[in-house]
């Protein structure tokens, strides 16, 4: 059986699971007889070189891809994704009620179906009973009086302290399951990483000088985990040196477009901020057209760039070389950790979904000493140079904009809410 044939069977199986037996039978039969696979997948956008996938089909496609890539069954993946989505809906309601009292929200990776909430302080009265009535596996944990925003502030302070010490090739993030800040160094054999005590003291001094006091500012060695990987670097590689498609530097394909946006200079598209010289957009079957630069952020607020074009921007994206989807929603940073996510870039030219978000609010000190923040980290990177700026997504939900990958096989992307905030743009949705 060919991989494509297997993927077709997986997608059809997911369609049956998601739709229910009766509706699935109705979908596959009609007044003119049984429908074809291509009827179910969507209508053809022949002029744009792709096939349109609606929301249900897009979700089924991604579940099928994840099942095929991970070796799990479609049922296992579908059940776990369903749990993630139901848990996220409840978690968002919880954040609205307790905006400053939640330290972290995360889920175990597929195929597990467990959601976690760590509070900044004690678990509020009644929440445990509410969670028990959801019909989901939810674990609530008390913690120190430090919110998710406070942890992000601490992460930035540690990253800047590391940079001030002269280190490069460092990744810093809050690890929700362990409730500590992990600081990863890539150093040659002769190099020495600072101790957790040294780092905590330097970061606490920076926090105190900024007026951050109390438990948030009093960073201790026990709050940090230092990890060293041998090597000369770069630790995190920005994926833009060759290949790519759609975003051009004159006639050279350099990066991948991300998401259509509205912004202060009109509608346009996003790509990665570290892409240089981008001035044209390449649409399949169309002569490349002008895409002038308008704004960028390449620093603590993310790695994103904003271009307008001479064409109409649609609230759609290429999920792969041959499929087009609407953008219907944006993934909230607060509920991103642990979720499954897919990636597609024009250089690698293959949509892959065997990725799990393992950290948000990540800060990277790169080999040039540039401190890049507002990143998420995901497992099993599949990108290649030229994929920078490409979209991370699940179904029809936008997750972020590709930054790069590290020496340990992790991918990094600017979180979509952060991309909007950094450039004062709004991702177009339907």
Q: What is the pLDDT of residue 21?
A: 29
Q: What is the pLDDT of residue 6?
A: 39
| Helix, strand, coil percent content, the chain, rounded in steps of 5 | 30, 30, 40
Q: What is the pLDDT of residue 287?
A: 87
Task: Report whether 65 contacts 342 (CB < 8 A).
Answer: yes
Order of all β-strands in the sheet with 50-53: 44-45, 50-53, 323-326, 316-320
Cβ neighbourhood burial of 45 (10 Å; 0-12, 13-18, 19+):
middle
- C-alpha span between 78 and 85 (Å, rounded): 11
With a CB cutoff of 8 Å and minimum separation 6, the contacts of 90 are: 131, 134, 136, 138
With a CB cutoff of 8 Å and minimum separation 6, the contacts of 386 are: 239, 240, 241, 242, 243, 244, 245, 253, 254, 255, 256, 345, 346, 347, 348
Q: List strand residue ranges (DSSP E) for 127-198, in order.
A: 137-141, 170-175, 180-187
With a CB cutoff of 8 Å and minimum separation 6, the contacts of 199 are: 158, 161, 162, 183, 221, 224, 226
- C-alpha span between 280 and 276 (Å, rounded): 12
Task: Report whether 155 contacts 365 (CB < 8 A).
Answer: no
Q: What is the pLDDT of residue 239?
A: 62
**Rounded to whole angstroms, what are the CA distances from 333 to 225, 365, 384?**
23, 21, 25
Q: What is the value of pTM for the model shown?
A: 0.87
- C-alpha span between 348 and 95 (Å, rounded): 37
Q: List the chain pLDDT tens, one digit each, 430 residues.
A: 443 333 433 433 444 334 432 333 233 233 333 333 344 334 445 456 678 899 999 999 999 999 999 999 999 999 999 999 999 999 999 999 999 999 999 999 999 999 999 999 999 999 999 998 989 999 999 999 999 999 999 999 999 999 999 999 999 999 999 999 999 999 999 999 999 999 999 999 999 999 998 999 999 999 999 999 999 999 998 863 222 347 898 888 889 999 999 999 999 999 999 998 999 998 877 888 899 999 999 999 999 999 998 888 889 999 998 899 999 999 999 999 999 999 999 989 999 999 999 999 999 999 999 999 999 999 999 999 889 999 999 999 999 999 999 999 999 999 999 999 999 999 999 9
Cis peptide upstream of residue 418 (ω within 30 degrees of 0)? no
- Residue 173's nearest CA partner among 336, 55, 47 is 336
Q: What is the pLDDT of residue 41?
A: 39
- C-alpha span between 183 and 277 (Å, rounded): 33
- C-alpha span between 261 and 306 (Å, rounded): 8
Q: What is the pLDDT of residue 286?
A: 80
Order of all β-strands in the sheet with 280-281: 252-255, 247-249, 280-281, 289-290
φ, ψ dihedrals at 405, nearest 5°: -145, 160
- Residue 385's nearest CA partner among 425, 352, 349, 340 is 349
């Amino acid at each position: 059986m060919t991989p494509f044939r297997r993927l077709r069977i997986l997608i059809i199986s997911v369609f049956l699971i998601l739709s229910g037996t009766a509706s699935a039978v109705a979908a596959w039969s009609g007044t003119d007889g049984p429908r074809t696979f291509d009827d179910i997948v969507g209508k053809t956008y022949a002029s744009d070189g792709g096939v349109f996938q609606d929301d249900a089909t897009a979700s089924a496609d991604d579940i099928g891809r994840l099942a095929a890539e991970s070796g799990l069954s479609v049922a296992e993946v579908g059940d776990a994704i369903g749990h993630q989505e139901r848990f996220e809906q409840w978690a968002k309601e919880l954040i609205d009620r307790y905006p400053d009292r939640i330290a972290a929200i995360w889920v175990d990776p597929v195929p597990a179906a467990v959601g976690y909430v760590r509070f900044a302080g004690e678990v509020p009265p009644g929440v445990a009973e509410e969670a028990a009535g959801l019909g989901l596996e939810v674990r609530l944990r008390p913690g120190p009086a430090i919110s998710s925003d406070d942890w992000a502030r601490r992460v930035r302070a540690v990253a800047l302290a590391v940079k001030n010490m002269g280190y490069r090739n460092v990744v810093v993030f809050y690890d929700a399951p362990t409730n500590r800040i992990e600081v990863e160094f890539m150093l040659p054999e002769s190099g020495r990483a600072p101790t957790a005590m040294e780092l905590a003291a330097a970061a606490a001094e920076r926090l105190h000088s900024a007026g951050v006091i109390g438990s948030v500012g009093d960073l201790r060695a026990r709050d940090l985990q230092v990890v060293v990987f041998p090597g000369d670097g770069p630790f995190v590689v920005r994926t833009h040196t060759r290949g790519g498609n759609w975003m051009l530097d004159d006639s050279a394909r350099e990066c991948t477009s991300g998401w259509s946006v509205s912004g202060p200079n009109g509608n346009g598209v996003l790509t990665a901020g570290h892409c240089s010289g981008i001035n044209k957009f390449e649409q399949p079957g169309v002569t490349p057209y002008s895409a002038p630069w308008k704004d960028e952020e390449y620093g603590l607020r993310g790695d994103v760039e904003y271009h307008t074009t001479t064409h109409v921007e649609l609230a759609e994206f290429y999920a792969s070389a041959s499929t087009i989807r609407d953008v219907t929603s944006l993934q909230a940073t607060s509920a991103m950790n642990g979720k499954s996510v897919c990636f597609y870039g024009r250089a690698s030219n293959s949509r892959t979904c065997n990725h799990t978000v393992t950290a948000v609010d990540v800060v990277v000190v790169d080999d040039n000493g540039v401190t890049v923040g507002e990143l998420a980290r995901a497992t099993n990177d599949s990108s290649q140079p030229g994929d920078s700026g490409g979209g991370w997504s699940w179904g029809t939900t936008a997750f972020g904009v590709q930054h790069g990958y590290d020496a340990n096989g992790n991918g990094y992307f600017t979180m979509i809410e952060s991309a909007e905030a950094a450039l004062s743009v709004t991702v177009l949705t339907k």
